Chains A and B, each alone.
Chain A
């Protein structure tokens, strides 16, 4: 059974702090990973892709631990605008268009 698990939160974090949350996946055939950001009542938007050990884009860093089957997202110097739900997505190796599995998301609230 394919599963991607995330702590639903909410994570309440003061502005300017660093926050990190994990995503665990059960299918060891998962090859690639994605973090999407979803604002309330909006569509998910791609934040980062992770194909190897990790990826960094400005204040955002994703790290992949294949041995423990988890991927983390770190947000530094958090902004009020970072408040959103963050969806973790795993792609099964060799999987076709139905090879993506979405987590239920982690809700992040940045407080002034």
Chain B
């Protein structure tokens, strides 16, 4: 089945540690996105990528890094510089042309907590 897979489902980070969240899609979508959702809050864009080897900062990129070495994969690293990383992280993807462009489909998310 086609879809977006995020792993792990739950992740715990120690102080000063970098952690990487995985996002893989087999929908052949061009664009991929990372969002952060805090309780009672809307989704905030961290980074997005429209093409392999290229990505742009979203509204809250500080303390995060990404890579897009393959079309299918868009991992997110939460660095030690991110002082408040506890949140629900959602990865999404979309096509960039046609009637369905910009409709984003989401993975099941990763819940990150600080130990």
A34 to B103, CA, bound (A): 8
A85 to B107, CA, bound (A): 17
Interface residues of B in 37-63 (CB under 8 A from A): 40-43, 45, 48-50, 56, 58
Q: How far is the CB of B105 from chain A (nearest CB, A)?
A: 7
Q: List B contacts of A44 (CB < 8 A).
A: 43, 90, 106
- Cβ-defined contact, B103 with A8, below 8 A: no
Q: List B contacts of A45 (CB < 8 A).
A: 106
Q: List B contacts of A96 (CB < 8 A).
A: 50
Interface of B is mostly: strand
A99 to B45, CA, bound (A): 10
Interface residues of B in 62-83 (CB under 8 A from A): none
Known: A43-B90, A103-B42. A97 touches B50 (CB 8 A): yes
Known: A49-B103, A98-B56, A100-B102. A105 touches B109 (CB 8 A): no
A100 to B96, CA, bound (A): 13
> Interface size (A, Cβ < 8 Å)?
22
- Cβ-defined contact, A104 with B90, below 8 A: no
A104 to B40, CA, bound (A): 7
B25 at the interface (CB under 8 A from A): no
> Interface size (B, Cβ < 8 Å)?
26
Q: Which of A4, A43, A98, A99 contacts B108 (CB 8 A)?
A: A43
B22 at the interface (CB under 8 A from A): no
Q: List A contacts of B50 (CB < 8 A).
A: 96-97
A24 to B88, CA, bound (A): 25
Q: Which of B35, B49, B102, B106 counts the most A-chain CB atoms under 10 A from its CB?
A: B102
What mask results when residues 26 to 66 of chain A are scored 1 for a CB within 8 Å of chain B, else 0? Answer: 00000010100000011111100100000000000000000
12 contacts between A and B (CB under 8 A): A41-B111, A42-B109, A43-B107, A44-B106, A46-B104, A46-B105, A97-B94, A99-B102, A100-B102, A102-B35, A102-B42, A104-B42
